[in-house]
Chains A and B, each alone.
Chain A
Amino acid sequence: MLNEKNNNHHQNNIVYDVKKLNLWYGDVLALKDINLTIRENQVTAIIGPSGCGKSTFIKTLNRMVDNIPAVRTSGEVLYYGTNIFSDTLRVEELRTSVGMVFQKPNPFPKSIYENVVYGPKIHGISDKKILSEITETSLKSASLWEEVKDRLHANAYGLSGGQQQRLCIARSLAIQPQVLLMDEPTSALDPIATNKIEELINELKKYYTIVIVTHNMQQAARISDITSFFLSGEVIETDATQKIFTNPNDKKTEDYITGKFG
């Protein structure tokens, strides 16, 4: 199984090609000369200690960093060959193709149904039949359907934290993105809910490309194909997950995964 991962991880199409990416918050350089390739239908895990720039990096991939004042970038992030910083790229369009799930579940204070159809609706789908089809498909893909099918019109805030997070995943899936970015999606959840989401990620990677930030190394080891170790805004090492966790090239990576710091 692990061998299989190793064998084909260089063959899958390139989704993101990050080249010499620097990012500043004002005068503070938060990402330093990042080079990273993300491939189709793989789970790429970003690991590293708090404050090393994991969130900043993943928020750059769908340009959510645009919303933070005083952010500047240099370098290139190619998404299927197009630089996402180019003037001709519409950021709204990028985000319909790159979904994002946040650290703290953030459903809208609306019904479960309204949460799932939010994306389709704002992008112009109004046919009730299509919308309810999308709802069912998305909730099934997020393994939430069975739990909520009888209360689609109940408020999303009545769900448990784990269910809310799966609802947020369903909400992202409803506009059929190609990539799913997840920033520590289980850090606010209990172990059972975490386990459910990890199983879900394993399922989703057949159809989506997933980038997941986690500071839980066991999680990275369990669910990812590729792991990239960040430290102080730099990529120290990116390799097959199995390699990173058994025989890393860099001493710093080894120190981190063996718990010497972080």
Chain B
Amino acid sequence: MNHHNSSDNNEKNIELNNEGKLKTFFNKDIISKRMNNRILLDKVAKKLFFGSILFALIILVILFYRIGVLSIGWIDLQFLTSNLSIFPEKAGIYGVLIGSFLLMVVVIPVTLLLGISTAIYLEEYAKKGRFQSFVNINISNLAGVPSVIFGLLGLTVFGRLLNLGSSILAGGLTLSLLVLPIIVAAGQEAIRAVPGFLRDGAYAMGATKWTTVRTVVLPSALPGILTGSILAVSRAIGETAPLVVLGIPALILRVPNSLMSDFTALPIQIYYWTLDTVLTPEYANMAAATIVVLLVLLFLLNSVAIVIRNKYQRRY
């Protein structure tokens, strides 16, 4: 009974014209004409978008060209292994590299520990509610705060209040603050991407929250966390402004040997050398050579991040 009724209704739903054919709703000629316009628009759009990427590429090529010309002949083993000197032909960036390296010795553990812990807390422990969204908004805002401001904060808190001056420790902690929001956000995203049914599997076996995080969530989120961390670290390596604010001396002749030493780092050395090209033209070449070193370093770090991301991308 019921069945019959519903099939009758179905037939009525298909509207037919007088000739018993399907009713047509639009004129195919008009559609065809409009299609011409749309295809033209599509071609224009393609050219425009290609133009944008071309613009970016041209700028990049000019940049590489300028740096290449300036630095050619200046990058050699001597440049990498000698210390800073007032004589350009004898100067090298050994101490600068050590400075950047020691900065990372501070930045990496501090940011990983604080950043991943914060991300775990926010995603796994904190109640989803006003507090959590308040903190999340603030973290996004912090990630957008200009780095000079972080420099001022570092100067006030680490440089003056904790009396660390312009040491590697002060610089490292300042840079840590700067990149912490990046790592927290990357960590949160990676943790959020771990499917809930994996956590359920662990909880249902009597795992505590921390056991679940340690054995299920973190292993699955690790590639994402690692990628974010590497990008954050490469941001820290390239930052100049906060270090300038901290008052890093312009010329350091000694290689730093502890976290309390004064230091210079790659980006800041580029900055000082560029400032002084009026006095010593060769400084432009040395700045360019240092830029090449920094770029290679960043390129390597980013490649590692990409390799990790591709290798460990999980599908469930």
Contact status A99-B211, CB under 8 Å: no
Contact status A122-B200, CB under 8 Å: no
- Does residue B216 face the partner (Cβ distance < 8 Å to A)? yes
Are A100 and B204 CB-contacts (below 8 A) given A69-B127, A108-B198? yes
Q: How far is the CA of A102 from the CA of B199 in the complex (A)?
A: 12
Contact status A122-B205, CB under 8 Å: yes
- Does residue A92 face the partner (Cβ distance < 8 Å to B)? yes
- Does residue B197 face the partner (Cβ distance < 8 Å to A)? yes
- Does residue A64 face the partner (Cβ distance < 8 Å to B)? yes
Q: How far is the CA of A166 from the CA of B203 in the complex (A)?
A: 18
Contact status A102-B197, CB under 8 Å: yes
- Does residue B128 face the partner (Cβ distance < 8 Å to A)? yes
Contact status A119-B205, CB under 8 Å: yes
- Does residue A171 face the partner (Cβ distance < 8 Å to B)? yes
Pick from A100, A109, A123: contact of B316, CB under 8 Å: A109
> Residues of A contacting B127 with CB < 8 Å?
69
Contact status B207-A92, CB under 8 Å: yes
CB distance from B308 to the nearest CB of A (A): 16
CB distance from A2 to the nearest CB of B (A): 32
- Does residue B146 face the partner (Cβ distance < 8 Å to A)? no
Contact status B220-A122, CB under 8 Å: no
Contact with B along A95-127 (1 / 0, CB 8 A): 110011010101111000000001100110000
Q: How far is the CA of A172 from the CA of B203 in the complex (A)?
A: 11
CB distance from A208 to the nearest CB of B (A): 15
Q: How far is the CA of A123 from the CA of B206 in the complex (A)?
A: 8
Contact status A175-B200, CB under 8 Å: no
Contact status B203-A64, CB under 8 Å: yes
Contact with A along B19-57 (1 / 0, CB 8 A): 000000000000000000000000000000000000000
Is the contact region of chain B dominated by helix, strand, or loop, or is it mixed?
A: helix
Contact status A95-B201, CB under 8 Å: no
Pick from A95, A104, A107: contact of B205, CB under 8 Å: A95
Q: How far is the CA of A64 from the CA of B220 in the complex (A)?
A: 22
Q: How far is the CA of A131 from the CA of B220 in the complex (A)?
A: 24
Contact status B206-A67, CB under 8 Å: no
Are A93 and B206 CB-contacts (below 8 A) given A69-B128, A109-B316, A122-B211? yes
Interface residues on B, range: 20 to 34
- Does residue A223 face the partner (Cβ distance < 8 Å to B)? no
- Does residue A168 face the partner (Cβ distance < 8 Å to B)? yes
CB distance from B130 to the nearest CB of A (A): 13
Pick from B197, B205, B215, B219: contact of A172, CB under 8 Å: B205
Q: How far is the CA of A61 from the CA of B203 in the complex (A)?
A: 13
- Does residue B280 face the partner (Cβ distance < 8 Å to A)? no
Residue of B with least CB distance to A105: B197
- Does residue A238 face the partner (Cβ distance < 8 Å to B)? no
Q: List 30 A-B contacts (CB under 8 A).
A: A62-B204, A64-B204, A67-B199, A69-B127, A69-B128, A92-B206, A92-B208, A93-B206, A94-B206, A95-B204, A95-B205, A95-B206, A96-B206, A99-B204, A99-B205, A100-B204, A106-B197, A106-B200, A106-B201, A109-B198, A109-B314, A109-B316, A118-B205, A122-B202, A122-B207, A122-B211, A168-B201, A171-B205, A172-B205, A175-B206
Given contacts A95-B204, A106-B201, 7 further A-B contacts (CB under 8 A): A64-B203, A64-B204, A95-B205, A109-B198, A118-B202, A122-B205, A171-B201
